[in-house]
């Protein structure tokens, strides 16, 4: 990738690129079919045109060497120059897209073939081959531009095979034996790298071109094609076995062609030995790396799915179910104590059409006090009304205690249900991410192609967890279209901002655009913290600072009271919040989970304040979450902005009302977070001492403010956290 290479390395690669362009253009210019090399030179010219003027210069140099030293017809040079003028004209007036250029070059080639008076059938054949070669050559443009092996897809590997073989064919008129040796060495190298499927299409196509050059090459072509079928039947992975099978496979040749033992034998032996001594290393695992990775992901995904199933079962234990009706149970107790041996029980309790009103009043008395009318009814119809009222009042106390315990149990059960549901959600999310794996590039590719952008290459490079680059190759795009259409659509899809690092449009809409986009943070946070404990044992205030993706988090918590217990409670609160957020839990779910855990832990005997800030380092959007915490103050150009929220601390009520506020911060904004022991009037304190801040680091400001506050009072644990927003 261009951005991670040093300038000297880039300069070296640029020179190598021009050298390769010159060499290829020279070699293809000396490959003649029907006395012309235009069917190869014209397609390669278009590749050079797409890559820019440097490539065109290299192409012209290579073609010029062939014209001057090897008597290559200058017609090829002239036709290339005419094509250049036509494409420049189309480029100037933006009258053509790159997808139509192969047709234009084919038309130019066809006119030339007709002009030199080749017969009609040959003219038609050369015109078709010109179009085919143009499509083959242009598919390699990303490789010429980027020079990365990762771009070698199967289709591009087949095209590259054709180019290499065509370049090798240029040596045929000068040394047929050397050419055949080189072709065989290339075949063995492809077999060694297990690219036989990619080799054969290009090899057959090149064999057809060789026959068009001269039918006398028929025996040579058969001599390297026929032995290849042995390698389909017997797979080989080591060089020694490949060479051995290579020698054995040629024993069939005398049965199919006029085998010359001196000529063909020397070619076979020389190519086999040269391949054997070539210094090549191939550490190929039994499984490919991508397959190993997928296998591991599948195993891990199965384990995660099993955990999902486990938590679903555990969650089912805490699903909401109707509470049992305890009042009927207590009515039964009253009946056993009072009515079981009463002479009027059949009249009061076992009445034919349901229980008597006296029994209904038992149920009512357990839940609420009797009215005067109820007591009058009891005195009028019950044989022992004083005992009736006393028993109901006695059992009412027990019933209310049980109801209170049931309500607490219900709340706790709901909290546990929420926690298990949350964990189940995390495991499902993780399992989904495992299934997706590293196909994010594929998703981007498919999304942008849905908008009819022609992407030739897309690669994502991570510099850090929150900084990455997108390297993209595009056809048919101008710079204005990229900036005004392509990038906004891509940003909307990713929901992230992207900056242009490199953009090269050598020939605008007729060329290949090389684009590098960077997603990175635009801000960083300077911070300072100062604490002072009322007791020497420990400070009840705790704070934590951490990062997650492109967000920085700053949190301050004040435990109930002072000393070690308050410190433990506040530390536990912040630690749990940090772990949940860094594992992908949303802010709302994190707040509810921590609140529920605090309630369950000490049964309403533990609560802490929470003051948390989430700062997005890309766009500066800041989220404030405050629960029982003091106001936070933003100092911007001598203006003080107060952010407050009147809410209960965590661990008191459940569910906790979500209180989230957002602000968009600017460069040089300063944020002041304080605990309740710092000062009751911090706004005035900040306003009075603002002149002392200057350009000091937040760490120095925090220590200074702590010193000034200590001179005034120290009624509680005191903590101040100072943040400053800085531009990258």
User: Does 276 have pLDDT greater than 80?
Assistant: yes
User: For 549-559, what is each residue's pLDDT tens digit?
Assistant: 788 999 998 87
pLDDT score of 227: 92
Residue 494 in contact with residue 487, Cβ under 8 Å? no
pLDDT score of 437: 46
User: Does 434 have pLDDT greater than 60?
Assistant: no
pLDDT averaged over the chain? 81
pLDDT score of 286: 37
pLDDT score of 124: 94
Separation of alpha carbons 192 and 679, rounded Å: 76
Instruction: Report the Cα 9 to chain-centroid distance in Å.
Output: 29
The domain spans of the chain are 9-146, 152-279, 326-408, 440-519, 523-727
Q: Can you tell me the mean pLDDT for 167-174?
A: 91
Going by C-alpha positions, the residue among 461, 458, 469 that lies closest to residue 153 is 458
Task: Write out the E strands in 442-550.
Answer: 454-462, 468-475, 499-504, 512-519, 523-532, 541-548
208 falls in which pLDDT band (50, 70, 90)? very high
Q: What share of the chain is helix, strand, coil (3-state, %, to 5)?
A: 60, 15, 25
Separation of alpha carbons 566 and 455, rounded Å: 59
Extract the tokens encoding 29: 């210019």
pLDDT score of 243: 93
Residues 483-500: b if buried by 16+ CB within 10 A, e if exposed: eeebbeebeeebeebbee
* DSSP conformation class of 295: H
CA-to-CA separations, 180 to 165, 210, 223, 272, 640, in angstroms, rounded: 10, 12, 10, 12, 82
pLDDT score of 59: 95
First to last CA, the chain: 23
User: Does 293 have pLDDT greater than 60?
Assistant: no
Task: Report the percentage of the chain scoring pLDDT > 90.
Answer: 29
User: Does 339 have pLDDT greater than 90?
Assistant: no
DSSP conformation letters of 534-599? SSSS--SEEEEEEEETTEEEEEEEEESSSHHHHHHHHHHHHHHHHHHHHTT--HHHHHHHHHHHHH
Q: Can you tell me the mean pLDDT for 227-248?
A: 90
Phi-psi sector, 699: left (phi>0), alpha (psi -120 to 50), beta: alpha
User: For 411-425, what is each residue's pLDDT tens digit?
Assistant: 666 666 666 666 666
* Fold of the domain built from segment(s) 440-519: Defensin A-like (3.30.30)
Per CATH, the number for 523-727 is 3.60.40.10
Residue 80 in contact with residue 63, Cβ under 8 Å? yes
Residue 59 in contact with residue 22, Cβ under 8 Å? yes
User: For 37-81, what is each residue's pLDDT tens digit?
Assistant: 999 999 999 999 988 888 999 999 999 999 998 888 889 999 999
CA-to-CA separations, 523 to 383, 620, 721, in angstroms, rounded: 84, 7, 18
284 falls in which pLDDT band (50, 70, 90)? very low
* DSSP conformation class of 33: B
Comparing 455 with 295, the larger pLDDT belongs to 455
CA-to-CA separations, 426 to 327, 466, 486, 654, 691, in angstroms, rounded: 41, 21, 34, 22, 48
Extract the tokens encoding 290: 């991508």
Q: Can you tell me the mean pLDDT for 428-441?
A: 57
Specify which of 28-32, 391-395, 419-423, 704-708 reaches the highest per-range mean pLDDT: 28-32
Residue 661 in contact with residue 645, Cβ under 8 Å? yes
User: Does 592 have pLDDT greater than 70?
Assistant: yes
Separation of alpha carbons 701 and 650, rounded Å: 30
CA-to-CA separations, 37 to 75, 81, 109, 194, in angstroms, rounded: 10, 15, 11, 32
Q: Is the dihedral of CA 633, 634, 640, 644 positive or negative?
A: negative
User: For 112-166, what is each residue's pLDDT tens digit?
Assistant: 999 888 889 999 999 999 999 999 999 888 888 877 767 778 888 999 999 999 9
Describe the crossing of helices 289-316 and 385-436 by its angle, rounded to 10 degrees.
Answer: 170
Sequence-separated (6 or more) residues with CB below 8 Å from residue 418 = 592, 593, 596
Residue 461 in contact with residue 471, Cβ under 8 Å? yes
Q: Can you tell me the mean pLDDT for 618-640?
A: 88
CA-to-CA separations, 185 to 30, 180, 238, 264, 686, in angstroms, rounded: 22, 9, 15, 14, 79
Separation of alpha carbons 616 and 658, rounded Å: 20
User: Does 460 have pLDDT greater than 70?
Assistant: yes
pLDDT score of 661: 87
Separation of alpha carbons 300 and 433, rounded Å: 11
Q: Can you tell me the mean pLDDT for 473-490?
A: 89
In 3-state terms, what secondary structure has residue 265? helix
Q: Can you tell me the mean pLDDT for 308-322?
A: 53
pLDDT score of 354: 47
718 falls in which pLDDT band (50, 70, 90)? confident
Residue 610 in contact with residue 626, Cβ under 8 Å? yes
User: For 349-376, what is each residue's pLDDT tens digit?
Assistant: 655 444 567 777 887 887 788 888 888 8
Sequence-separated (6 or more) residues with CB below 8 Å from residue 720 = 529, 530, 672, 673, 674, 675, 678, 702, 705, 706, 709
User: Does 287 have pLDDT greater than 50?
Assistant: no
Report the residue count for the chain. Answer: 728
Comparing 348 with 291, the larger pLDDT belongs to 348
């Amino acid at each position: 990738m261009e951005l991670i290479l040093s300038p000297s390395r880039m300069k070296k690669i640029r020179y190598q690129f021009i050298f390769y362009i010159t060499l290829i253009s020279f070699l293809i210019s000396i490959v003649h079919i029907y006395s012309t090399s235009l069917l190869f030179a014209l397609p390669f010219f278009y590749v050079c045109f797409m890559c820019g003027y440097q490539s065109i210069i290299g192409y012209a140099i290579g073609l010029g060497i062939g014209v001057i030293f090897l008597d290559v017809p200058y017609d090829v040079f002239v036709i290339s120059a005419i094509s250049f003028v036509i494409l420049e004209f189309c480029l100037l007036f933006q009258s053509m897209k790159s997808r139509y250029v192969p047709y234009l070059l084919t038309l130019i080639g066809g006119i030339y073939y007709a002009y030199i008076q080749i017969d009609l059938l040959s003219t038609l054949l050369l015109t078709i081959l010109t179009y085919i070669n143009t499509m083959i050559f242009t598919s390699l443009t990303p490789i010429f531009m980027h020079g990365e092996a990762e771009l070698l897809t199967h289709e591009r590997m087949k095209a590259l095979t054709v180019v290499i073989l065509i370049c090798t064919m240029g040596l045929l008129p000068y040394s047929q034996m050397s050419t055949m040796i080189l072709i065989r060495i290339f075949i063995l190298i492809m077999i060694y790298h297990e690219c036989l499927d990619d080799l054969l299409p290009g090899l057959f196509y090149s064999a057809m071109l060789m026959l068009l050059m001269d039918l006398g090459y028929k025996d040579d072509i058969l001599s390297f094609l026929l032995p290849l079928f042995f390698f389909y039947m017997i797979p080989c992975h080591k060089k020694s076995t490949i060479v051995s099978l290579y020698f054995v496979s040629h024993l069939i040749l005398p049965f199919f062609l006029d085998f010359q033992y001196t000529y063909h034998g020397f070619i076979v032996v020389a190519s086999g030995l040269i391949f054997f001594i070539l210094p090549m290393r191939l550490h190929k695992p039994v499984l490919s790396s991508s397959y190993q990775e997928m296998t591991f992901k599948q195993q891990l995904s199965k384990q995660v799915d099993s955990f999902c199933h486990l938590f679903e079962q555990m969650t089912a234990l805490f699903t909401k179910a109707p509470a049992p009706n305890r009042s009927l149970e207590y009515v039964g107790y009253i009946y056993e104590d009072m009515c079981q041996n009463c002479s009027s029980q059949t009249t009061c309790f076992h009445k034919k059409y349901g229980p008597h009103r006296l029994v209904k009043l038992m149920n009512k008395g357990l839940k609420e006090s009797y009215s005067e009318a109820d007591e009058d009814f009891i005195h009028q119809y019950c044989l022992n009304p004083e005992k009736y009222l006393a028993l109901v009042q006695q059992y009412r106390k027990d019933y209310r205690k049980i109801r209170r315990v049931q309500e607490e149990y219900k709340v706790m059960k709901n909290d546990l249900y929420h926690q298990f549901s949350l964990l189940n959600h995390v495991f499902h999310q993780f399992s989904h991410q495992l299934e997706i794996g590293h196909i994010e590039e594929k998703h981007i590719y498919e999304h942008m192609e849905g908008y009819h952008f022609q992407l030739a290459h897309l690669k994502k490079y991570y510099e850090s967890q929150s900084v990455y680059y997108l390297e993209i190759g595009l056809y048919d795009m101008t710079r204005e279209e990229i900036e005004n259409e392509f990038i906004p659509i891509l940003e909307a899809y990713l929901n992230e901002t992207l900056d242009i690092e490199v953009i090269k449009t050598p020939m605008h809409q007729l060329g290949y655009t090389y684009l590098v986009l960077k997603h990175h943070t635009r801000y960083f946070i300077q911070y300072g913290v100062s604490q002072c404990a009322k007791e020497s044992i420990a400070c009840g205030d705790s704070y934590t600072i951490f990062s997650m993706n492109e967000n920085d988090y700053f949190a301050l918590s004040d435990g109930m009271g002072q000393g070690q217990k308050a410190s433990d409670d506040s530390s536990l609160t912040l630690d749990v919040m940090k772990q949940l957020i860094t594992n992908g839990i949303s802010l709302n779910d994190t707040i509810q989970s921590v609140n529920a855990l605090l309630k369950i832990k000490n049964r309403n005997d533990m609560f802490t304040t929470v003051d948390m800030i989430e700062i997005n380092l890309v766009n500066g959007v800041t989220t404030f979450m405050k629960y029982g915490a003091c106001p936070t103050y933003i100092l911007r150009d001598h203006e003080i902005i107060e952010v407050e929220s009147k809410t209960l601390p965590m661990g008191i009520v459940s569910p906790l009302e979500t209180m989230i506020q957002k602000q968009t911060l600017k460069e040089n904004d300063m944020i002041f977070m304080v605990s309740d022991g710092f000062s009751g009037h911090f706004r005035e304190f900040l306003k009075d001492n603002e002149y002392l801040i200057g350009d000091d680091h937040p760490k120095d400001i925090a220590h200074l403010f702590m010193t000034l506050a200590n001179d005034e009072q120290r009624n509680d644990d005191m903590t101040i956290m100072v943040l400053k927003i800085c531009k990258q």
